Structure 1
Amino acid sequence: MTLNELPGTYNIIGCNQDKDGIAYKGTLELALDAHNRIEARWLINDSQEQLGTGFFKDNILVINFNYKGDDAMIYKGVVVYKCITKDLLDGFWSEKHGNPLYLGEERCYRVNTQQQQQLIN
């Protein structure tokens, strides 16, 4: 896989970094900046926007992200995705102030792909 194959929109399914692993859905948009660094934008449960920047090597995508919580505090973390195919990313994440006993998990399906159709059916 190459860096230029990453940009696009992905539907995501994940679970939070806590004992209960509360599930969520959303979208992830990946783009490249002028220096070929990854720019990411998540929209979680149609309400929470998260932004990040990252890098790609050996089919591993690493993104540092941040967002403003409901309490107006800024939260930061890192997500690591293994690029299974150009249309499927499998990842885990952790926030700075999250529960250190757990990791969040996330799977991303490029919009309008066979994998996404199989997920729906």
Structure 2
Amino acid sequence: LLHCRGFCTALDQHHRGEDRALFPAIEAAHPELAPVLRALTEDHAMIDVLLTALAAAAEGGVPPEDLERHLDGVGAIMENHFAFEERQLLGVLEALALDADPRDVLGRL
């Protein structure tokens, strides 16, 4: 669970960095992507709720099968989120020139 907690913290910081710095930079350069960026930001909020529930379950000493259900939910959302993000933004990200510290944009991994 320690590794899970570390991953969840890193993922949260990564999403906060995207929402705070990366997505505004993309939207400034590509306003047509605003709906995509909103959907990704909404995903981040949903993932945050799932990670909070996972942490509460882990700290509450729930049975392993309950933890597994939480992990499966997070995993399913993350797979869809990453696939959508790559389909919609990969080309833009490859060409985007950001004048920012990568740790501020992507979180400390």
Structure showing the higher helix proportion among its residues: 2
Q: TM-score, normalised by structure 1?
A: 0.28
Higher relative contact order (CA 8 A, sep 6+): 2
The higher radius of gyration belongs to 2
